[in-house]
Amino acid sequence: MNSMRIRRTALAVAAAVVLPFSLAACSDSGSDTKAASTPVADDVAKSGGSTPADSTMASDKPFGAACAGVPAEGAGSFDGMAKDPVATAAANNPALSTLVAAVKQAGLVDTLNNATDITVFAPTNDAFAKIPKADLDKVLADKATLTKILTYHVVGQKLTPKQLENGSFETLQKGMVTTKGSGESYKVNDTAKVVCGNVKTANANVYIVDTVLMPK
């Protein structure tokens, strides 16, 4: 009888010691589960795994209405252009054929392709079409003037959209361009609208614009 009482007492003591730890463990497990369900975790789940870092990466992609006209694949796609230097990349974009012809006429292909970390404001064919044909033909025939205009579209650093919000930058022509805007809406010199921005090439950031920039 005494031995049975001793064993019962020992078991009761053991239970008294173990039970609080068991309850604590259950409580900790519950708090862990609750902690895992944070607003960030919920957003990730709702977005299929996107994280705040992914959002930052998304904002670094090309933007603008004209970007829809860029081929989905091939040398003229965004991925394709990212592999080539800027003059070569532009040559693969049909919307920039007039610009490419002008760059070749001015002998600037190697200059642009061999440059390091530049930004190019690239006028579309429609931008050149705004210039009366007689005036455009005259410019294309004058290499010095053409070079002056084209190099005015090039800045000697890679500009991010953030830098365009309220910027002033020296061009390779030595004149200054000003930029302003936010989000996915930017203007250069208050006249040219960025229609497809933040396009990456191997050596440049490209902002395609709807108006040819003229140096003062």
Please indicate, yes or no, if residue 87 is contained in any of the structural domains. yes
How far from chain centre, in Å, is Cα 206?
10
Please indicate, yes or no, if residue 15 is contained in any of the structural domains. yes
Please give the pLDDT value at position 59.
59
Domain hosting 105: range is: 63-209
pLDDT in tens, 163-210: 999 999 999 999 999 999 999 999 999 999 999 999 999 999 999 999
Residues 144 and 102 in one domain: yes
Please indicate, yes or no, if residue 94 is contained in any of the structural domains. yes
Please indicate, yes or no, if residue 47 is contained in any of the structural domains. no
pLDDT in tens, 11-29: 443 444 444 434 344 444 4
Separation CA 82–CA 60 (nearest Å): 13
Separation CA 193–CA 184 (nearest Å): 11
Count of other CB atoms within 10 angstroms of residue 81:
27
Please indicate, yes or no, if residue 46 is contained in any of the structural domains. no
Please indicate, yes or no, if residue 167 is contained in any of the structural domains. yes
How far from chain centre, in Å, is Cα 113?
21
Residues 73 and 167 in one domain: yes
Q: Number of folded domains in the chain?
A: 2
Please answer whether residues 89 and 201 qualify as being in contact, where contact means their C-beta atoms are separated by less than 8 angstroms. yes
What tokens were used for 211? 């108006």
DSSP state of 163: G
pTM here?
A: 0.73
